[in-house]
């Protein structure tokens, strides 16, 4: 019997095989180390940033309340726009920019909760008041929510948040206005100025957008731009305010607009 058919590997060939094994081991080690690093990083992120305030935005991934019906429609109206700047803050900022910013945040929060949203404007454009009401009416919205910021030329100490409702002062309107204020108050506001009926100085008349819309309509005044405390509060908490407003709206829709 002969075994001469099989050649023994040369030393050189063995060296090549060993070198390749080494390279394979090193690659495997690098891959494992990278995976381990990712896992450790994620774990430490949860530990470090999990329950603190910064991560409260991630609450958006898991909304506290969601819409009972996918047929709810809310019309959001960022006050002013374009050449209609609205009031101007002590810091030189314009109301039209703040209202658009928070309206887009409320929109996102509502949509995350399963509510359809119609906007009267999504950019810095001029929209007449009657057009705003028409957009809400055409969409057959369940709620019209106009977002504004307040101003007083005189008393710079005037501050706080308020919500205006129709002169009929219905329980339904009052409920959404109160819920919004309650939600904002939980985030933290300078003062709850309460639910206001009609217009400033005349509870029998209504602001145009409230008067001309067919559904429950409110105007939320989100602090005074003539007051530094309110400016700071808005700048710091507008995202949380938006979520609070959205949650109040969803609760209200589920309670008062059952579909």
Summarize as ranges the residues that interact with Zn ion (CB under 5 A): 79, 86, 148
Nearer to Zn ion, 146 or 173 (CB): 146
DSSP H or E stretch at residue 217: strand 216-224
Nearer to Zn ion, 79 or 198 (CB): 79
We find the least distance from the C-beta atom of residue 126 to Zn ion, in angstroms, to be 14
Nearer to Zn ion, 80 or 166 (CB): 80
**Dihedral-angle region of residue 147 (phi above 0 means left; psi in -120 to 50 means alpha; beta otherwise):** beta
DSSP assignment letter at 5: T
We find the least distance from the C-beta atom of residue 160 to Zn ion, in angstroms, to be 15
Residue number of the CB closest to Zn ion reads 148
Nearer to Zn ion, 224 or 252 (CB): 224
SS3 9: coil
We find the least distance from the C-beta atom of residue 211 to Zn ion, in angstroms, to be 16
We find the least distance from the C-beta atom of residue 148 to Zn ion, in angstroms, to be 3
CA atoms within 13 A on the CB side of 141: 30
* C-alpha–C-alpha distance, residues 223 and 94, integer Å: 13
* C-alpha–C-alpha distance, residues 88 and 99, integer Å: 12
């Amino acid at each position: 019997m002969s075994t001469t058919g099989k050649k023994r590997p040369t030393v050189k060939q063995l060296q090549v095989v060993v070198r390749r094994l080494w390279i394979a081991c090193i690659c495997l080690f690098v891959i494992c180390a990278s995976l381990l690093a990712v896992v450790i990083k994620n774990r430490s992120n949860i530990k470090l940033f999990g329950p603190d305030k910064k991560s409260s935005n991630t609450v958006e991934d898991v909304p506290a309340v969601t819409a009972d019906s996918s047929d709810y429609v809310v019309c959001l109206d960022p006050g002013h726009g374009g050449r209609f700047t609205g009031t101007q803050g002590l810091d030189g900022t314009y109301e039209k920019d703040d209202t658009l910013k928070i309206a887009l945040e409320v929109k996102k929060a509502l949509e995350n909760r399963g509510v359809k949203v119609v906007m009267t404007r999504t950019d810095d454009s001029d929209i007449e008041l009657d057009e705003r009401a028409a957009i809400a009416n055409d969409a057959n919205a369940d709620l019209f929510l106009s977002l504004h910021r307040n101003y007083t030329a005189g008393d710079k100490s005037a501050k706080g948040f308020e919500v205006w409702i129709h002169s009929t002062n219905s329980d339904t309107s009052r409920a959404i206005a109160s819920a919004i204020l309650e939600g904002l108050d939980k985030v933290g506001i300078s003062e709850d100025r309460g639910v206001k009926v009609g217009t400033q100085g005349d509870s029998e008349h209504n602001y145009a957008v409230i008067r001309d819309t067919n559904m429950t309509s409110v105007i939320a005044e989100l602090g005074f731009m003539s007051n530094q405390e309110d400016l700071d509060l808005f700048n710091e908490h507008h995202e949380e305010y938006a979520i609070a407003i959205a949650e109040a709206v969803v609760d209200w829709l589920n309670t008062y607009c059952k579909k």
